[in-house]
Structure formats: C-alpha cells, structure tokens
Amino acid sequence: SPLLPVVGQDLAAPLIHGGHVRYANLDYAASAPAIKDVAAHLNEVLPFYASVHRGAGFASQVSTSVYENARKIVAGFVGARPDDTVIFTRNTTDSLNLLAGCVESILQQRGFTEGRSNVHGEVLYLDIEHHANLLPWQALPHRSVVGADSIAATLDRVETALRAGNVLLVAVTGASNVTGEVLPVAELTALAHRYGARIVLDAAQLAPHRRIDLTATGIDYLAFSGHKLYAPFGAGVLVGRPDWLDAGHPHLAGGGAVKDVRLESISWTTGPARHEGGTPNVLGAATLAKATSVLAALNADDWHQHEQQLRAHLVAGLNELEGVTVHSLFSDADTYPDCGSIGVVNFSVTGYDAGLVAAYLSAEHGVGVRDGKFCAHPLLNRLGLPAGSLRASFGVGSQLEDAQRLVAGIQTLLQEGLGWDYVVDSGRWVP
C-alpha cells in the first residue's frame, strides 16, 4: 500500500480497447503527485491571498508570515547553517541558473575572462548531469567535465581535476535522474573542500528520497524543486552560503530587490530578496515547505524500506524477462553501500522503440512511465542509447501493484507483440 496518501491515487485511466483501470503512476521522477496533507495546506493558506512584504493589511501580514515561515521550515529540512540564505525560485533549473549567474558575476569581479588559463574560476561537473546542471555551467568561460562510469573512477578523476587548483565550484547531482543511482556526496564534498573549491548539489531527485543535511555534510549549495517533492508546480529553492549570493547580480531585477533606486544609480539589497524581485509565489513556497515537514516526520526506515521493496520487485521482475535490459551507471555500486539507488529504474526492451513501449503501457495497461533521453543527452549517448530508453519512477504514493502491473505489461508485450491499431501522433496514444 502507499506509504502516504497522495492526490490522484485513485485516478482511473482509460484503456484503448475500452474500460478503465486504476492509473499506475510510475513517473514520479518527472513530477510527483501532491501528498494529500500538502494539497490540504494549499486550501488553508489560499484565503490569505495577498501580496507579501508590501501591505499592512491583515491578509498581507499573514501571507508575509506564511512566506517567511516557509523559508525557515525549508532551512530546517536541509539542516542549513545559521547564516545560509534560502531563496525561493521557480524550480531546480531556476536555482542552478541563479547560482551560475552569481558565479559569472564573481568571475567578472575577479577579472577572469574567457581565454585566461590557470585561474581559480573553473566549474567542474560530471557527464551524467541533467541539462539543468550542465547548460548553465557550459555557458561559463572555465569548466571541466568528468566521466562518471564507476564511483571509484569518478572520485579519482574529480580529485585529479581538483589537484590542478583551478576549480572554484563542483556541480554534481545527488542522484541520477536517469538511473536513480546515488552519488557519493560526502566524499565529493570533502574532496572539493580539500582543494579549496565549493560544491553545489542538484538535489532535484535526491531530496524527495533521502535526508540531506548541509551542516553535517558541508555541502555549500543545494537546489531542488517542489513539484518533485510532492508539492504543486512553480516553486523551487536554492539554499547556501550567503557571500556568493550577495555578490551576484540580482537574478530578477525588480521590485523588492533593492535598497534604494535613483534614476542614475541602484543600490541592490542582500539576502534572499536580492534574487526574488517581483511578487513571489507564496502558495508554492508554503506548499513546498509543508511537503518538507511531512517528509521530515516520516520514519526513515519505513520510508527507505517502502521504496527499496518496490525497487527490488521491479528490478527482479524486469531482469527475469528475456529481452529487457536494466541500465545502471556504476559497475562498483555494491562497494559503496551508502550510495545505493532511489526509486528510479531505467530499462530498454530489445527490438522495441522506447516511445512505442511507453505508449503501449499507457494504452493497454494504464501504466505511466517516461521514455526518451531524460534531459541528459550526453549520458544517454555515452550509454549507447541515442534513441532513448524507459524510466519507471516511484515514491511515497506508490504501491507494489504499480510495479507488478508494469512487469506484467512488458511480459505481455514480449509474448504478444504490439497490436498497433492505435498509435497516432508520433507514437503517442491520445485517449
């Protein structure tokens, strides 16, 4: 049964040959359904709809306190240091772009322009990154990329790159959005710090599955999205050390980001407001914070066990099917027990286009998975999957039957083949 009730858990999915079946949502890694308590919180704060930081009226005051309290709750959830800044953004992509903007400002302030070598201004990232943690850095003048095909080799290569002394920031994902494998975050953080670099963790996938503590680990910056953390769309966070954030050019220039404005000069403010110009997403922040409270209250063993049982069932079931390959990144994952995997399983079915399999699972079995290259093109190409693969992902609202339905669906496909009388619009079935 689900670990926590989520919105839409009884959704009925239409089937191609008629009738409906309970929707087996195995696409949590893209966007996870809201936890019911989180959805209820939305209705609790909705009546106080008013602009924050601006009005003296009752609703404005409540709204402001809801918003600022959300910041404190999120800070607590990630074990932020007392002076860390918590900035509300749109999502992880926005958070990482914000930090990249700050790094760019710092490089400019230090006079580190394109073409200069041997400057302490390089950003180092892995070749497995989601585009959100790749493209913002790729636009900066100094960078290096490390291939991550085993954990030991990744740590070795990162250390070699750091030893040269030019790395300012290590930007890594906490868990791969493609395979679900968890990176050795503590080791990477210690390495970065040993060589005078900072680290930013793209926790879009990790935060919904594992506890992260900035104070205990020393991670300098952390980014994640509400919509993958069982909250509605539209809000994300960037948490971390204030000096770079206060030195960076404001992410959104506008109302609230300034101390004083003259027609000929601007004095920008510091703290979160520097980057949160304009009217903020109060409901997004409040629900994101509520989701962190609900997850923080979970028994860690129950949480872990629920996910690992589903994962083990899915992997074992898929591995039993001839013609199915389950993909992983790290050949030496077993020797790093702290790493493991979150609720994501990546696979291919030999002889079948991933998009068609995904459409078939939806149309014939009411199972929702993701197919494609998962915004991680360099990795899919390196894995020899230029046409993409399939990803099943799950979380607190998932149940064993979802995994069983997926395995049974693939088994039926392998036995009976695709009865394609319904594929329209480039392989998508339109109910």
Q: Which residue, 32 or 363, is less far from ligand PMP as judged by CB?
A: 32
Residue 392 sits at the vertex; the CA angle it makes with 411 and 348, to the nearest 5 degrees, is 55
Distance between CA 429 and CA 361 in Å, rounded? 10
Q: Which residue, 204 or 286, is less far from ligand PMP as judged by CB?
A: 204
Which residue stretch of 32-40, 162-170, 201-209, 402-410 sits at the interface with ligand PMP (rule: CB under 6 A)? Answer: 201-209
- Residue 204 touching ligand PMP (CB under 6 A): yes
- Residue 91 touching ligand PMP (CB under 6 A): yes
- Residue 202 touching ligand PMP (CB under 6 A): yes
Nearest C-alpha neighbor of 252 from the set 277, 229, 232: 277
- Residue 225 touching ligand PMP (CB under 6 A): yes
Distance between CA 300 and CA 223 in Å, rounded? 22
Which residue stretch of 13-21, 85-93, 213-221, 262-270 sits at the interface with ligand PMP (rule: CB under 6 A)? Answer: 85-93
SS (H, E, C) 274-326: HHCCCCCCHHHHHHHHHHHHHHHCCCHHHHHHHHHHHHHHHHHHHHCCCCEEE
Instruction: Using CB under 6 A, count the residues that bind ligand PMP.
Output: 14
- Residue 238 touching ligand PMP (CB under 6 A): no
Burial class (CB in 10 A: 0-12, 13-18, 19+), 192: buried
Residues 136-175 that bind ligand PMP (CB under 6 A): 173
What does DSSP assign to residue 62? H
Residues 385-404 that bind ligand PMP (CB under 6 A): none
Helix (H, G, I), strand (E, B) or coil at 417: coil
Query: Is 102 a known active-site residue?
Result: no
Helix (H, G, I), strand (E, B) or coil at 416: helix
Q: Which residue, 16 or 235, is less far from ligand PMP as judged by CB?
A: 235
Q: 292 is written with which tokens?
A: 């962190």
Q: Which residue among the candidates 289, 375, 396, 407 is catalytic per the annotation?
A: 375
Instruction: Name which position in 64, 92, 217, 287 contacts ligand PMP (CB under 6 A).
Output: 92
Work out how close the CB of 202 gets to ligand PMP at its nearest, in angstroms, rounded to a whole number.
Answer: 5
> Cα 63 vs. chain centroid, distance in angstroms?
27
What would the x/- binding string for ligand PMP be over residues 104 to 133, using CB under 6 A?
A: --------------------------x-xx
Which residue stretch of 17-25, 58-66, 202-210, 248-256 sits at the interface with ligand PMP (rule: CB under 6 A)? Answer: 202-210
Q: Which residue, 208 or 366, is less far from ligand PMP as judged by CB?
A: 208
Place of tokens 């459409």: 359
Contacts of 297 (CB under 8 A, 6+ apart): none
Work out how close the CB of 106 gets to ligand PMP at its nearest, in angstroms, rounded to a whole number.
Answer: 23
Residue 81 sits at the vertex; the CA angle it makes with 131 and 237, to the nearest 5 degrees, is 35
Distance between CA 202 and CA 200 in Å, rounded? 7
Residues 347-386 that bind ligand PMP (CB under 6 A): 375
Catalytic center residues:
375
Footprint of ligand PMP (CB under 6 A) = 91-93, 130, 132-133, 173, 177, 202, 204-205, 225, 227, 375
